[in-house]
A = this chain, B = another copy of it.
Amino acid sequence: MMGFVRVRWQNCGRKIRFVQTRLYQNILTSPSSLVSLDLPHDHTWPCNSSSHETPHSNHIPTLHTAKLLDGNSISTEIKSKIAAEVARMKKCLGIVPGLGVIMVGERRDSQIYVRNKILACDQVGINSFVTQLPTHSAQSHVSKAVIKFNKDPSIHGILVQLPLPQHLDEEQVLGSVCLEKDVDGFNPLNIGNLAMTGGEPLFTPCTPKACIELLTRSGVEIMGKNAVVIGRSNIVGLPTSLLLQRHHATVTIVHAFTENPQRVTCDADILVSAAGVPNLVRGNWIKPGATVIDVGTSPVEDLSCEDGYRLMGDVCYEEAVSVAAAITPVPGGVGPMTVAMLLLNTLHSAKRVLNFI
């Protein structure tokens, strides 16, 4: 069992690749949010608790139980507002927003994530269009699919489901998505505008936006607080830290080179973990009374589940719940909120291009 989630990262030139056992090729970390692309040179987290099994806790349980930051319920609320806006747009203009999804290959987890996004589009009345390409598609074919969506006026947002097969240049593919439809917000220009004071990104990346929404809608003060983000991936850790900073938190990013991560996390009023390492964050990594946002969703084999695996967060929930003031569950925390933010970005994109206020 231990070998299942034991992963390491390898830097192959400019591309960080996932080195894994063949057996589990199809169910890895969540594509939309959670891989720590930034763990280079086989450098692993200085922690020996990266097991998906619930650790034998040496933490003394107390009666305290953290407040649950319920992503399902908050995202349902947001989606109902999106649905109302989509309906209003349809009534006024006869047009609804459209999301184009490009999926290359047949990863089982990616299929499930795409299915969930399509279902969510249906729920709110957003049109969705999926281009499914075979695993061995050439770079040019994938780019053609992106360009087709770029040109299609009925599509207001484009999502390239990650990870792409390793023979494809992910950076090049993502870079070909036109800025006005980059609802994932992964374009460097978007990230630059997110980073800079006064900058106005066209889209804020979905998972970071989900984290902030969870905090603000739960009444957690960000301004002036110590916030620690574990992981510095381009799609989650980095933009989350930038967003927290724009909300005037004092932000520290912990990564695989951090000498004593626990020492840093113990000082966090807000702790966001996006490392993709199950049970990395133990109870004694958390400051009593902190708010913990668990972005990690590592799939671990579980034949009792319908899909053959279950998702595990970075945080040892059983320990954290007795230390933190508030915590997101996995699943049901950041995940559904990320999907809601994707819908919101698609709606905003359509409103912008149609000049619909």
Contacts and interface: CB of A to CB of B under 8 A. Distances in A.
Contact of A189 (B37, B38, B192, B255): B192
A352 B191 CA distance: 25
Number of copies of chain A assembled together: 2
Q: How many of chain A's residues touch chain B, expressed as a range?
A: 35 or more
Interface in A168-210: 171, 187-199
A250 interface: yes
Contacts of A245: 232, 253, 255
A51 to B, nearest CB: 25
Contact of A195 (B37, B242, B258): B242
A194 B226 CA distance: 24
Interface in A241-279: 242, 245, 248-255, 257-259, 264
B190 A238 contact: no
A37 B232 contact: no
A56 interface: no
A198 B258 CA distance: 19
A196 B238 contact: yes
Contacts of A238: 195-197
Contacts of A249: 257
A255 B259 contact: no
A19 interface: no
Nearest to A269: B259
A264 B228 CA distance: 13
A213 B238 CA distance: 24
B197 A195 contact: no
Contacts of A250: 252-255, 257-259, 264
Contacts of A198: 14-16, 37, 171, 234
Contacts of A188: 189, 192-193, 195-196, 199
A224 interface: yes
Interface in A1-39: 14-16, 37-38
A259 to B, nearest CB: 5
A251 B248 contact: no
Contacts of A255: 245, 248, 250
Contact of A190 (B15, B192, B226, B258): B192
A50 interface: no
Contacts of A234: 196-199
Nearest to A222: B257
Contacts of A47: none
A119 interface: no
A176 to B, nearest CB: 15
Given A189-B189, A224-B259, 20 more contacts: A15-B198, A37-B198, A187-B192, A188-B192, A188-B196, A190-B192, A191-B191, A191-B192, A191-B196, A192-B193, A196-B234, A197-B232, A199-B234, A224-B257, A225-B259, A249-B257, A250-B252, A250-B253, A250-B255, A250-B258
6 contacts: A188-B192, A188-B196, A190-B192, A192-B194, A223-B257, A245-B255
Closest 9 CB pairs of A and B: A192-B192, A188-B192, A191-B192, A248-B257, A252-B252, A250-B258, A38-B197, A196-B234, A189-B189
